[in-house]
Structure 1
Amino acid sequence: MAEQPASPDAVAPVPVCPRHPDRESYVRCQRCMRPTCPECQRPAAVGIQCVDCVAEGAKTVRQVRTVFGGAVTDGRPVVTMTLIGICVAVFLAQSAVPGFERQIWFSPVLGQSEPWRFITSAFAHGSIMHIAFNMYALWIMGTYLEPMLGRARFIAIYLLSAFGGSVFYLLLAAPQSYEEAVAFGPGMWWTPAVGASGAVFGLFGAFLVLQRRLGRSAAGMYVIIGINAVIGFVLPNIAWQAHLGGALTGAAAAAAIAYLGRNRGPLKPVDRRVHWVALGGLSVLLVVLSLAKYATA
């Protein structure tokens, strides 16, 4: 039996957006051909796509990475600005709250029972000149290294360098034995160390390694490090041990990122897991050195 032709008076259903059924939409996605309302429309290379198709397509696009495997950002040094903001806030708290600095500074004896001081001391400063120099150096290094490394790797190097600076201060500034501590008095165990200098020197060390890996000159940085090294031995109340520890830790962390996990072939991505395993191993090494020092002192 033949089909009856559709009545000319029949009304076609009004197309509606699948995500918003209460909205009429006569624009269709060029990918799935479903109706899409203005809120769900996304401009594409050809026509309009719905938000669901755009999200599905994004899953198949490889994320752009920096040369060292970090996620490419919009260029703003968000981590650097955050670190500077924290340091400034802590410095203001030191001025406003009596005794606040003593809660976060590092000394060998306090670090044994309150290990968080290995890190928190890097956010406190002794004077306006102290914080001004460190924050200026952090800004210069951060605006260059953060986009190159990616935010996660940059903050990892910074915090590891701060930790390494405190560890080397413990290893080199604290007494080598209980007898030595008795001979020189308890002051050596209690001498505090504050400031982001160890972390900043870690960025200096990372800069040297990364510049060498990229085949770029770092002559100016050698001069800066040399001048600061001399100042550390000439002027009093400067923890050169933390500077040394931060620089070595930062250089080691940057070397792990720059040289490990690099697959052969121009189209093969960096194996980022190797980086984090290496950085984790460096953290464990610093912890072991600290525990060994406390166990033998």
Structure 2
Amino acid sequence: MSDKPPSGQPGQPPLEPGVPQPAAGPSVCPRHPDREAYVRCQRCGRPACPECQRPAAVGIQCVDCVRDAARTTPSAHTVFGGRATDGTPVVTYTIIAVCAVVYLLQRADPSITDEFAFVPKRGWTEPYRFVTAAFLHSPAIIFHILLNMFALWSLGQYLEPMLGRARFAALYLISGIGGQVGVVLLAATPSTIEVLTHQPLAWNNGVVGASGAIFGLFGALLVLNRHLGRSSAAMYAMIAINAAFGFLYPGISWQAHLGGFVTGVICAGAIVVFRRQGVRHLVWAAFGAVLVLLVVVTVAKYLTVPENIRDLTIFG
């Protein structure tokens, strides 16, 4: 007489001694007791109806085991600590789509540009403009949005898979805000007389465009490539060409370019410092610190402006 313990159903591990042999035929799915299950999970051995079955490397697993494995399996990360993706720059495409839709709305309704563009004189009472201006473009010059979206498309395909989607989106938004902060900081503080006499001042000029955020991506790319030991020679030429537009063509804000670039460099530095496992979560604290710094320097600048100008009490 054999000492071998009785076997379970075909394809299953042998049962422990003393465990009754299950009856042949279908069992009942524990998640759906009203359904018969002819297949058992290769991981836990429980019956699984067709709705609860998930293909595995070998055989079939139930949805509960698949969920447990997803929770316990460490997720892959990029070289800079972001969550690895399939390489598709989803955030980049989303930003481009949003900018394109907003541009069409601007063409249809010019008041949208006036309402959401960044104007230093309105930043104190309407701070939402620090964000919204990065998604607007000049409705009269299609070249403006085309150039910016081409630059974003080129940079996003490289940076987004490298950083992960969340870090890339944060870098873009913070750099966009930094661009508007650069406009405020570099605008000469106006006097009441200058405003009342409608003198041309940077304080009164509206700013639109993703250029500040894109220059932030430029700055981040230089920092990250340097850390990786990769050449950025071609990028220097592109940055120089884009920067030249701010000085050679009227109406283009070089201040926003500079503000976004510096902000992007700082954010990229934080990404490099906190790239390793165990401290990579601190990059979000660093991003928060950058935002706080931007708010502090902006408030400090506005406090140097006469109160009646800052609060729009003399503007019609």
Choose the corresponding residue for 2:39, options 27, 32, 57.
27
Choose the corresponding residue for 1:213, options 227, 242, 252.
227
Pairing 1:281–2:289 present: yes
CA apart distance, 1:258: 1.2
Give 2:114's aligned residue. 102
CA distance in 2 between partners of 1:98 and 1:164 (Å)? 25
Give 1:266's aligned residue. none
Pairing 1:294–2:302 present: yes
CA distance in 2 between partners of 1:184 and 1:167 (Å)? 26
Alignment of 1:19-58 (within 5 A): 19-58=31-70
Structure 2: gaps of 5 or more residues: 1-22, 306-316
Choose the corresponding residue for 1:169, options 167, 180, 183.
183
TM-score (normalizing by structure 1): 0.89
Alignment of 1:71-90 (within 5 A): 71-90=83-102
Deviations 1:120-169 (CA, angstroms, capped at 9, x unpaired): 01111112000000000000001111111011100111011110000011
Partner SS, residue 49 of structure 1: strand
Partner SS, residue 42 of structure 2: coil
Look up the equivalent residue of 1:197 and give its one-letter code. S
Check conservation: 1:68, 1:257, Cα contact below 8 A.
yes
Aligned residue pairs total 280
Structure 1 window deviating more from structure 2 (127-136 vs 74-83): it is 74-83
Check conservation: 1:175, 1:181, Cα contact below 8 A.
no
Partner SS, residue 70 of structure 1: coil
CA apart distance, 1:230: 2.4
Q: Percent identity?
A: 57
Pairing 1:117–2:129 present: yes
Give 2:81's aligned residue. 69
Structure 1: gaps of 5 or more residues: 1-10, 263-268
CA apart distance, 1:81: 0.8
CA apart distance, 1:274: 1.2
CA apart distance, 1:181: 4.5
Look up the equivalent residue of 2:293 and give its one-letter code. L
Give 1:201's aligned residue. 215
CA distance in 1 between partners of 2:179 and 2:77 (Å)? 30
| Structure (1/2) with the larger helix percentage | 1
Check conservation: 1:69, 1:270, Cα contact below 8 A.
no
Choose the corresponding residue for 2:279, options 266, 271, 277.
271
CA apart distance, 1:182: 5.3
CA apart distance, 1:12: 7.0
Q: Do the aligned partners of residues 166 and 184 (structure 1) sit closer, same or farther apart at CA in structure 2, a change above 3 Å counting?
A: farther
Partner SS, residue 36 of structure 2: coil
CA distance in 1 between partners of 2:247 and 2:200 (Å)? 20
CA apart distance, 1:232: 1.6
Give 2:171's aligned residue. 157
CA apart distance, 1:186: 5.1
Structure 1 window deviating more from structure 2 (52-61 vs 228-237): it is 228-237
TM-score (normalizing by structure 2): 0.84
Structure 1 window deviating more from structure 2 (131-140 vs 91-100): it is 91-100
CA distance in 2 between partners of 1:184 and 1:139 (Å)? 43
Give 1:133's aligned residue. 147
